[in-house]
Amino acid sequence: MSAEPILRLRGVGRRFGGLHAVRAVDLDVAPGERRAILGPNGAGKTTLFNVIAGDLPPSSGHVELFGGDVTLLPARRRATLGLARTYQQSRLFLGLSVEDNIYLAIRGVSGGRLRPVILPGDRELRRRARQAAGRAAIDGKLPELVGSLSHGEHRQVALAMALATEPTVLMLDEPASGLSRGERQLLTELLLALDPAITLLLIEHDMDIALAVAERVTMMHDGRVIVEGTPAEIRANELVHELYLGSRYTDE
Amino acid sequence: MSGARSAKTLVERAIGLAVLVVAAIGPVLFSDYWVNTILTQTFLLGIAAASLIFLSAYGGMVSLAQTALYGIAGFAVGNMVTQGETKGLNLGWDPTLSLVLAIALTTALGLLFGLVASRSAGIYFLMITLTFAVIGNYFFGQVTLVSGFSGISGIDRYTPGFVGDVVAHPNRLYYVALIVALAVYGLIRYVRRAPFGLALQGVRDEPVRMSSLGYNVALHRTLAFGFGAFIASLAGVLYVWWNGQVDPQTIGLQATIDLLVVAVIGGLGRIEGAWLGAFAFILINNYVRGVELPVVGGSFNTIIGLIFLAVVVLSPGGLMGLWERVAQGRLGGRGGGSPRVAADPAGPAPGIGSR
């Protein structure tokens, strides 16, 4: 962690009324790092994602991205800086085709968002959209309306949209949830093959995927960061077993 | 599956072409009454409804302000062209210049309205646009400088050269209205596929996702509202040429609801529904007035209300939705689609209260 962090959180907190979803979180993520954020349901992982992406303002603390303070910057500006994310519920455009969904993702970071005319240059963006669909293995469904696809296919479209923008920082919120075993295998391979320049933040309940992909793991509980370390350290940590792995396996 | 889809597209194109041919030779086929009253009015009312359906189908915004905006354009033209014989400013300006200025003014006001309304959604958006409608109605009713209760009349005497004398040569206004309606239809279909229109549909489906993709959602909604106002203004200008006069009743609550009824009968999900709804509404308005029903009597509002109720209950997608269902049954539908989307390829038709 010698390089200047690409993402730095200092004392970040977020309250919903009396509920402290996130409390005083400090986080440093280096450029190109693969970071998994783990923790039981309600630990504050998604809220932390929302604060980093700018969907929610923090109640306290600062968010720095790409070396600048972005605490007050709206989500759309963070996106054009090179931050892409997916959501737990895929949040896709159900009335549009797969290709149009991915095209909109690329258009969002390419300018010309308000242009009311079609230009020849739009074809290049559509070509990139189809290419991104190929990387997420959803290119067989390009003309289909997203509203008619299955849950697993929604996940693939969401991933294609995130990859299509060629982000510097990619945040994936439970990309494997609801996927079959085979689809999880494909997802793991795809994440391992990701461009090493991309910084990846991953919330994932599937420990096999999270620990296979991540270089460092941040463990959250009750809105706080309780442990941070390598996958091996996390596996060996007793507190982690008690709070997360243990309860998870006894539940099943 | 793609074969079924193209069969439906072919049938739609054939129907569209037939309608176009009939419309093009309308004055030869139909009586003067039909050409001047039924069809010309259908074209211009359809344009106003298209502005509402555009916002609803692609922006997820059901607006009640379209009638007010249409009225603003009409009042603006009336004030600018008349020369002293009626209420209002009687500026006596050139009709073509007035036409351009009225459209520009209405579009600008639409952007201003949109700026206020664009941050709310669903029922709140509906209420804010209803407020605009009420303000518009009272403004022209109370401010005698620009209109007053009795309104502005004799506007049809000051039309641009390409329209001419609408009383002596009504067919010219018919063709002008037809061409504007076709242009509006083509423009909306085009914009829908351009970056602005695609992004607007993204805003309709998932505004939060759109902002995390880099889009300014409020700005997008505002500009869409301005575009809707531009289309409504075209209908307003055609209306005052056709009707010759405009008064606060033209944009009253009744007229506001009538336009919503036109859009819902036609179908809030597809732009073609605008003219289909307008045609149905005007036919009912003209031919059902004399009918006496048992118990409920012969009030136009009762009958249109019953038809409205039947459409909302039986085919929430309006007459266009009905066509979608027929086409699906006869020509084969899309397999595996969710009902919401499969019933409506142009996008989900939001209920009035649902967004």
pLDDT band at A237 (very low <50, low <70, confident <90, very high): confident
CA distance B209 to chain A (A): 6
- CB B338 to CB A148 under 8 A? yes
CA B329 to chain centre: 29
Cβ–Cβ below 8 Å for B220 and A114: yes
B340 closest CB neighbour out of A85, A109, A147: A147
The stretch B269-298 carries a mean pLDDT of: 85
Q: Which CA distances in Å does B330 have to A92, A248, B7, B336?
A: 31, 52, 10, 17
Cβ of B215 within 8 Å of Cβ of A96? The answer is no
CA distance B337 to chain A (A): 4
User: Which positions in chain A touch B209 (Cβ < 8 Å)?
Assistant: 87, 91-93
Nearest to B194 among A55, A94, A116 (CB): A116
Cα–Cα nearest to B321, from B123, B20, B53, B66? B53
Count of other CB atoms within 10 angstroms of residue B215: 26
Instruction: Indicate the residue type of B176.
Output: V
Which residue's structure tokens are 């996106």?
Answer: A79
> Nearest to residue B109, comparing CAs of B203, B232, B220, B192?
B232
- With contacts defined as CB-CB under 8 Å, which chain A residues touch B212? 53-55, 75-76, 78-79, 85
Query: How many Å apart are CA A159 and CA A172, to the nearest integer?
Result: 8
Q: What is the ipTM of this complex?
A: 0.89
Q: Is the pLDDT of residue B175 over 90?
A: yes
Tell which of A102, A114, A122 to mutate to test the B interface (max B CBs under 10 Å).
A114
Q: Which amino acid is at A204?
A: E
Secondary structure letter of residue B42 according to DSSP? H
Cβ pair A103:B340 closer than 8 A: no
Nearest to B206 among A79, A92, A145 (CB): A92
Report CA-CA distances (Å) from B69 to A249, B40, B159, B221.
Answer: 63, 20, 20, 17
- Kindly report, residue by residue over B103-156, the tens digit of the pLDDT: 999 999 999 999 999 989 889 999 999 999 999 999 999 999 999 889 999 999
Closest of B158, B233, B184, B177 to residue B41, by C-alpha: B177
B348 touches chain A (CB under 8 A): yes
For B137-148, what is each residue's pLDDT tens digit? 999 999 999 998
Is B198–A96 a contact, with Cβ atoms under 8 angstroms apart? yes
Q: What are phi and psi of A64, to 5 degrees?
A: -115, 135
pTM: 0.90
Split at pLDDT 50, 70, 90, the class of B191 is very high
Confirm or reject contact between B186 and chain A (CB < 8 A): no
Could you tell me the pLDDT band of residue B4, with boundaries at 50, 70 and 90? low
pLDDT digits (tens, 9 = 90+) for A33-74: 999 999 888 899 999 999 999 999 999 999 999 999 999 999
Interchain proximity A113–B347, CB inside 8 Å: no
What CATH fold (topology level) applies to the domain A1-82+169-252?
Answer: Rossmann fold (3.40.50)
Residue ranges of domains in chain A? 1-82+169-252, 92-166
